[in-house]
Structure 1
């Protein structure tokens, strides 16, 4: 029997003309790219060989991620101490290097929105890799030079769903301002520094003989957007219009997915139920969202009629949504591209995907060569929560890029860099490669699984359960 879903939106309730627009987007990945060999180097340097370590090193070769963005190389001092860094040491790096990334991402979004920091009325931020008080958003605003009264909200405890949860929160704040006849220019910021958790996770793999594949997936990123309610003067044209959203929690799943605070950072919590629970909730959420949007053109009815911006938690999550929704990898081309070239940066990734999707080289690989006007955004997080929204893309929008000065041009977000997907044949080959790697890993795990004792019942590998193992930790 399917688990009942908590559905906050009744079908008869409808979204009208919200007049909400994303008028600027900015993504900042750090300059370093970690290949799978980086994790192997740390494993060999600091940990003895063991069944669990052997398994995680094998999985590391088959994630489908070519490179993961990180604030440092494999020789970063924090990854090469005689122990894992403490949460205090991690916080120090986050507030230094991480805040710098967030400031740059925010400046890019403001530049495209043709706004100054003084124009911002609200700031909504999120992270799951820092718990400082005041929060990182305080320091970002300070470095941006915001001296005007700004309403700030910092969201925590929502993991990979944080980017869309922040957009939803920003939308509700903007609508409140619209109700009072006031302008709203909401800066949304997502920041995650995951790479320096590597030693803590490897410690757990070594000491507890747990299969913790999150260590092979996560990366660092800051992303930002500006949401406008259209009141109060001239502004940049929309990149996307925000038409509606849906948020729900699958009841009684708190123990299935989480990210627990630990003296050495944070630890992923998951259960074997996660993949099926997450996969099952996409279709009903999409159906309910569609019922709240009766004014969509007649050509937009089924999932395949839209482009999709899915949080790329892992390749099996993406392929699972493909199957359940009857869409292709090309519908989620920006999700695959981001995953292959940067990995999973938790909450910051979905805004990066939206930024990537609207770039012209992504248009070349649209399904059937036809770019969609409407885009479904979707992400999962602890709870288990699902965030979904409907966006209308402005296909005539010309991307306004900030380069030079204090802003470091990103490796792949301004123009495709060497090794990034450029054209239909390259991206399709990379996507096929990701899927083939998962098939090969499934076969390899079936041969080694009987030899590998796993003391963590929630993470045990059974035959044919690669998707469950990968999907589970991919979500956060």
Structure 2
């Protein structure tokens, strides 16, 4: 018996926005030299990592010659909050406008928003400010996720899918604008201060060498919305998704507000855990994805042959070179399958929750495969995964 298809969910528009500045490893070296004792073990470790990340440039909302980077003391949480609620909101709005334009959907048609960030914790949430600046309807249904960190880009995809699926059960259209924004570089001064006081180089915080700034957005529509919007062209059909936790790793990746600034923890064994966690969730979701692909075949189409890892292009969160290399090694992925992830990491760094969506945005312009899997990792350690069918490639 052929399975019943799940509600039809489509990404109809994608948009990503980087700020205008690019910082190389030498820029962080020079910043540290202005404010820190370079002989301290924590600073030595941080700058050693800075030169070996494989990141050539990181996107930044401001250069290190202006703003927080020039102050005698690291910025306070209050200063960072105020800055995000202007600069971060503006960056997010730009990404959203790109997604709305591609989706051919006007702001007043949006029924829901789903937002995420880990670099702002204000109330009302920054999603309220984004909605107001975009002039979304006053009754738009807003959801703002918290606590998911780098996994957030796919967390909002999962949440949007569940909302859109619920609307389908009620036979109502859903046009969901989802977005992620992170401003990480304003925290660099604090990371340098923490590294300077660290007496154990193995415990030195390396976040200053990895993270960058960016925003990304997408529009997700259900079949009832597409039935009303004849000019909307789907980019991807979202067919399956899931999440999991790696046991006994809750303290390996953390990010929280402290009285002196944002504190980040990145355990050296994260790449080991992520590379071994990604195979099991892929194997669990793949048969479910194949069922959904089969259920959507027309009578005149050929049956779906069994799919494997190499039938997919991968939008992998570029959390670090060791993470990308570890996943590639354990799953035996080709360089072509991870080209978009590696390129974003090399040229822009790790923009936390926005990164995986930016990789997906880039991948759909380059992919030659009909099937795409997106994966990201976050605090917990959490693993998020989504399976999508490329609507522009006519094969099963």
The corresponding residue for 1:366 is none
Distance 2:155 2:175 in 1: 17
The corresponding residue for 1:446 is none
Of 8, 31, 34, the match for 2:20: 31
The corresponding residue for 1:220 is 213
Of 119, 122, 128, the match for 1:132: 122
Q: Identify unmatched segments of 5+ residues in structure 1.
A: 1-13, 364-370, 398-476
Offset at 1:187?
0.4
Of 342, 356, 374, the match for 2:362: 356
Offset at 1:260?
2.1
Distance 1:264 1:220 in 2: 21
Offset at 1:272?
4.4
8 A Cα contact 1:260 1:269, kept in partner: no
Distance 2:24 2:266 in 1: 26
Distance 2:356 2:266 in 1: 21
| Secondary structure of residue in 1 paired with 2:224 | coil
Of 177, 181, 186, the match for 2:176: 186
The corresponding residue for 2:29 is 40
Alpha-carbon displacement from aligned partner over 1:252-278 (angstroms, at most 9, x marks no partner): 322222112222432222434433222
Distance 1:92 1:149 in 2: 26
| Secondary structure of residue in 1 paired with 2:353 | helix
RMSD, aligned CA: 1.6
Distance 1:356 1:214 in 2: 25
Q: Identify unmatched segments of 5+ residues in structure 2.
A: 294-302
8 A Cα contact 1:201 1:215, kept in partner: yes
Distance 2:338 2:260 in 1: 35
Offset at 1:36?
1.0
Of 213, 217, 229, the match for 2:222: 229
Asked if 1:281 corresponds to 2:287, the answer is no
Distance 1:15 1:32 in 2: 49
8 A Cα contact 1:307 1:331, kept in partner: yes
Distance 2:266 2:41 in 1: 21
Asked if 1:381 corresponds to 2:378, the answer is yes
Distance 1:272 1:307 in 2: 28
The corresponding residue for 1:404 is none
Alignment CA distance shift 1:53-1:157 (3 Å): same
Asked if 1:302 corresponds to 2:291, the answer is no
How is 1:60-459 mapped onto 2 (pairs within 5 angstroms)?
60-209=50-199, 210-232=203-225, 233-234=228-229, 235-295=231-291, 296=293, 298-299=304-305, 301-359=307-365, 362-363=366-367, 371-395=368-392
8 A Cα contact 2:181 2:353, kept in partner: yes
Q: Structure 1 residues 17-26 or 158-167, which shifts more?
A: 17-26
| Secondary structure of residue in 1 paired with 2:355 | helix
Aligned residues: 375
Distance 2:62 2:355 in 1: 19
Return the structure number with greater strand share.
2
Offset at 1:396?
5.7
| Secondary structure of residue in 1 paired with 2:176 | strand
8 A Cα contact 1:245 1:389, kept in partner: yes
Q: Please, what TM-score do these two structures have when normalized by structure 2? A: 0.91
Distance 2:334 2:356 in 1: 18
8 A Cα contact 1:109 1:225, kept in partner: yes
| Secondary structure of residue in 2 paired with 1:293 | helix
How is 1:5-20 mapped onto 2 (pairs within 5 angstroms)?
16-20=5-9
Alpha-carbon displacement from aligned partner over 1:229-249 (angstroms, at most 9, x marks no partner): 021402411111101101112
